[in-house]
Amino acid sequence: MANMGLFIADVFFKNPVITASGTFGFGREYNELYPIGKLGGVSCKGTTLLERMGNPPPRIVETPSGILNSVGLQNPGIEHFIKEDLGWLKSQGTVAIANVAGSTLEDYCKVAEILSDTDVDMIELNISCPNVKEGGVSFGTSASSVENITEQVKMRSSKPVMIKLTPNVTDIAEIAKAAESGGADAISLINTLTGMRIDINTRRPILKNNTGGLSGRAVFPVAVRMVWQVAQAVSIPVVGMGGIATWQDAVEMMLAGACAIQVGTANFTDAYTPIKIIDGLEKYLDDNGIKDIKEIVGKAEMW
């Protein structure tokens, strides 16, 4: 059988399939269906310094080939994650990635400092969050802000740091290069696209927050394009996500330049999707005489 293992920033993944933050909790519920130790890694529910209750409902709505969500980073806070969830997750035999969110630079830095003294394997920074000190503008929408937050977190963390990029920007390659300049060990993308649905009877947005993040199959072509652009622009590892639902999607994303992939919304329609993708990738490699999963990364031939 082909080798499915790979390293991202000196962290070993037994295979390139990771579950995406916000769609997998901390893994306990899915572990009732299959051993999550089969996964390459788990990117945990977005975690903030203090507990957050999230946005008021309605906060999820279905869309053609996807969903809009404005959950608002509901989570129990970093201390609860460390005391109640991290130890259990580490015992399952998969890579534990802490997804970190915040409202200020200080929030991100403090959580990174706290995580430095834990057994978490990697930090993934969700920089799509609004910066309250900058009038609510997302941390991830300007190159200077991305470079700064990356630098500051790297100064305070002993863990590898992966920056999760928002697609809601003019030039994704410029943002990725800023993250690399700031010292990022890896990049993941794409986070959700901003969208809206309106109830034609009430004439109000369906989501209480008015807008939300679009994910699911509908965003896959955008994700492939952005992953390809970023992979051309940086020399650090790129992890691709956005609409991946089959092993064929995973292969396509890796051909575009992703060394690993994350599965998100597809977990809601078929909880076994990550396992099916792992099995499909193994068969694809064997059927094509490919000895190592890394051999397909970035191998798409452009016209």
Q: Known catalytic residues?
A: 129
The full DSSP string for 52-117 is B--PPSP-EEEETTEEEE-----B--HHHIIIIIIHHHHTTTSEEEEEE--SSHHHHHHHHHHHHT
Name the residue among 104, 113, 121 with its Cα closest to residue 44: 121
Cα–Cα distance, 56 to 295 (Å, whole number): 46
Contact residues for 161 (Cβ-Cβ < 8 A; gap 6+): 112, 122, 123, 124, 125, 150, 153, 154, 183, 184, 185, 186
Give 42's strand partners: 19, 96
Which residue type does 101 have? A
φ, ψ for residue 36 (rounded to 5)? -70, -5
Q: Could you give the angle at the alpha carbon of 217 between the alpha carbons of 212 and 222, nearest 5°?
A: 80
CB 215 within 8 A of CB 67: yes
